[in-house]
Structures are given as structure tokens and as C-alpha cells.
């Protein structure tokens, strides 16, 4: 009787909107600024957090974030320990996803992964790339044939800091990573702007970060509508965090002050000044 009475009270409370929908997003314990990172208090922060918080604020859904090691995140999604995984893509970890029917949101933010090199190496042919630095778990798309042929030797690091250090010390010829994240690290954390630059002449890949789920496909339909309806606010967040900075221009991977300087010079030349 007591159990039945408790259930009735809970149902009544939820029917009067006291109980909100509540979901858990599994996120990476990774310093991947400006996209996302974990602050000193252990809180998830960055562009992704603001997008999800905006969705929660506009829909009344309650979202919480479960911060996990990268290699534990997909198993947690498949086991039901979390409701969603971010970031994700239908092209990632295909072997681990065999037999699982996952649903994916629209692309939330675009990215480019590629090789950053010392400025004096920029524009050199791929034959000159003999040693490539990587973070553990990353796949250097476009380079596998040369790796298999022993034409490129890989040097793995535990994190971005170690990988960048290898490239700066010239222990490798370049570093393969997310271009925006690596540039942000060099500009704002390592304080070595321009020490490594993206080489668009070398193979690189483009994609988008998505939110994925095993059980909540209808939720993703609502989230997709939110992405469309709140385009202007999300664009403002992208501009605030510079997560898509110059992805479709010749300035990709260049520190922002230099981009601004070059644009001012071009405007001056165009006006005949």
C-alpha cells in the first residue's frame, strides 16, 4: 500500500510538470578546447556545453554530463550507462558498432583534421613527410597506404601537449590533429602562435561532430529542430569560440591576429589605398 501511494504521488507530481525529462550525455574527459574541456572544478565547459545548455533552456529538458575516458564512452553508450554520446559520427568506430542501431543528430559543428608543420616545411610534397606525430587513438585519414608501405613512421603521444612538443622539437616532420584545436593550443596555451601551421596541400579530412544515441531517436528529432530554429544563436556561439574559424578559407589554421592583418591589407589594396 505504501509503495502504491508513493507511485501515485510521483505520477501526480510529474503530471503537474514537477518532473522534467532527464538525460545523461556521455562526454570525453579530454582537453579539446575550444570545442570542450574540463575545468579545474571538474565541470564540462566550452562550445559544446553552451549548445547543450541552450537546448535545455529552450525545451525544459534536464541534461547532465558524464565525463569519461574516451575509450570508455562508446561502450557506455552501447551498455545504456549514458543516453547520448558526444562527439560521434557514423564513420567512427564502425567495428565496435556492428549490430547496434545508432541514431545521429544533424551535424552540430564542422571540423578539419590534418597535418601541422613548421612554417618552413609548409607546401613540401608528401614524400618529404617521413615522421608523423599522433595522439593515441587517432587515425590519420589519407596516410594509411604510406604508413603500411613504411614510408611514414608514426610517433604516438598520450595527449596534445606531448604531440605538439614532438613536432616543435622536430622529432617528427608534422603532427596530425584537429586543426582548430591544435591552433588554439599553440596560440593560447603554449603561447607559440605560428610555430606550427596547417598544410592544406597534404591529405586532410573534413567532417562534423554529431550527438548519437541507441534508444532516443525521437529526442534527436527535437534536437535537430532546435539546431535549425536556433541557427543564429548557435552561429554566435561558433563565432565566440572560433570552433569553425576559417575552415573554408585560405586562412585555415592561421592565428587570428594574422588573419585580421591580411584581411585589412587586402581591403586596403582593393580600395587602392
Is there a single domain that holds both residue 123 and residue 168? yes
Tens-place pLDDT, residues 212-234: 999 999 999 999 999 999 999 99
Cα 15 to chain centroid, rounded: 38
Tally of domains in the chain: 2
The 10s digit of each residue's pLDDT in 57-75 is: 999 999 999 999 999 999 9
The model's confidence at residue 189, banded by pLDDT at 50, 70 and 90, is confident
Instruction: Tell me, yes or no, whether 168 and 37 share the same domain.
Output: no
| 137 closest CA partner among 30, 252, 27 | 30
Domain shared by 155 and 189, yes or no: yes
Residue 5 lies in a domain: no
| pTM of the predicted structure, to 2 decimals | 0.83
Query: Quick check: is 272 in a domain?
Result: no
CATH number at residue 98: 3.40.190.10
User: Do 138 and 27 belong together in one domain?
Assistant: no
Inside any domain, residue 270: no
Q: Hey, what's the cell of 199?
A: 598544410
Which of 181, 206, 231 corresponds to the end of one domain? 206
pLDDT over 50 at 15, yes or no: no
Q: Which domain holds residue 163?
A: 111-206
What percentage of the chain exceeds 70 in pLDDT? 83
Average pLDDT over residues 147-154: 97
| pLDDT tens string 235-271 | 999 999 999 986 654 555 555 555 555 456 556 555 6
- Residues 212, 105, single domain; the answer is yes
222 inside domain: yes
Instruction: Report if residue 202 sits inside a domain.
Output: yes
Residues 161 and 119 grouped into a single domain: yes
End of a domain among 206, 227, 253?
Answer: 206
User: Do residues 73 and 192 share a domain?
Assistant: no
Residue 96 has pLDDT above 70, yes or no: yes
Are 196 and 223 within one domain?
Answer: no
Residue 260 lies in a domain: no
In this prediction, residue 245 carries a pLDDT of 83
Sequence-distant (6+) residues with CB within 8 A of 136 are 156, 157, 158
Give the per-residue pLDDT at 98: 95
- Check residue 106 and give its pLDDT: 98
What string of H, E and C letters represents the secondary structure of the chain? CHHHHHHHHHHHHHHCCCCCCEEEEEEECCCECCCEEECCCCCEECHHHHHHHHHHHHHCCEEEEEEECHHHHHHHHHHCCCCEEEEECCCCCCCCCCCCCCEECCCCEEEEEEEEECHHHCCCCHHHCCEEEEECCCCCCCCHHHHHCCCCEEEEECCHHHHHHHHHCCCCCEEEEEHHHHHHHHHHHCCCCCCCEECCCCCCEEEEEEEEECCCHHHHHHHHHHHHHCHHHHHHHHHHHCCCCCCCCCCCCCCHHHHHHHHHHHHHHHCCC
- C-alpha cell belonging to residue 131: 615522421
- pLDDT number for residue 257: 56
Residues 213 and 84 in one domain: yes
pLDDT of residue 166: 94
Contact 109/242 with Cβ under 8 angstroms? Answer: no
Residues 101 and 214 in one domain: yes
What integer is the mean pLDDT of 184-192?
Answer: 89
Residue from 33, 20, 40, 15 nearest 241 by CA: 33
37 within a domain of the structure (yes/no): yes
Mean pLDDT in the chain?
Answer: 88
pLDDT in tens, 20-53: 799 999 999 999 999 999 999 999 999 999 999 9
- For residues 153 and 193, membership in a common domain is answered with yes
Whether residue 33 lies inside any domain: the answer is yes
Q: How confident is the model at residue 6 (pLDDT cuts 50, 70, 90)?
A: very low
Average of pLDDT values for 92-97?
94
Residue 108 · residue 209 · CB < 8 Å:
yes
Reported confidence tier of residue 4, pLDDT bands at 50, 70, 90: very low
184 shares a domain with 212:
no
Amino acid at each position: 500500500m505504501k509503495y502504491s501511494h508513493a507511485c501515485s504521488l510521483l505520477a501526480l507530481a510529474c503530471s503537474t510538470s514537477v518532473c522534467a525529462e532527464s538525460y545523461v550525455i556521455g562526454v570525453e574527459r579530454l582537453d579539446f578546447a575550444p570545442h570542450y574541456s574540463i575545468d579545474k572544478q571538474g565541470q564540462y565547459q566550452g562550445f559544446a556545453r553552451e549548445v547543450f545548455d541552450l537546448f535545455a533552456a529552450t525545451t525544459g529538458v534536464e541534461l547532465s554530463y558524464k565525463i569519461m575516458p574516451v575509450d570508455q564512452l562508446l561502450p557506455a553508450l552501447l551498455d545504456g550507462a549514458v543516453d547520448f554520446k558526444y562527439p560521434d559520427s557514423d564513420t567512427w568506430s564502425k567495428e565496435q558498432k556492428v549490430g547496434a542501431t545508432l541514431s545521429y543528430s544533424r551535424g552540430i559543428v564542422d571540423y578539419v583534421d590534418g597535418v601541422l608543420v613548421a612554417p618552413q616545411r609548409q607546401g613540401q610534397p608528401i614524400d618529404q613527410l617521413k615522421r608523423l606525430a599522433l595522439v593515441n587513438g587517432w587515425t590519420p585519414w589519407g596516410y594509411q597506404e604510406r604508413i603500411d608501405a613504411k614510408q611514414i613512421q608514426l610517433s604516438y603521444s598520450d595527449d596534445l601537449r606531448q604531440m605538439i612538443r614532438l613536432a616543435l622539437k622536430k622529432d617528427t616532420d608534422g603532427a596530425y590533429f584537429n586543426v582548430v584545436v591544435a591552433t588554439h593550443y599553440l596560440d593560447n596555451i603554449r603561447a607559440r602562435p605560428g610555430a606550427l601551421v596547417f598544410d592544406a596541400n597534404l591529405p586532410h579530412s573534413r567532417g562534423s561532430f554529431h550527438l548519437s544515441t541507441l534508444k532516443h531517436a525521437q529526442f534527436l528529432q527535437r534536437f535537430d529542430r532546435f539546431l535549425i530554429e536556433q541557427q543564429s544563436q548557435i552561429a554566435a556561439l561558433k563565432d565566440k569560440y572560433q570552433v569553425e574559424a576559417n575552415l573554408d578559407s585560405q586562412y585555415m589554421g592561421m592565428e587570428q591576429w594574422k588573419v585580421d592583418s591580411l584581411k585589412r591589407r587586402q581591403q586596403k589594396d582593393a580600395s587602392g589605398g
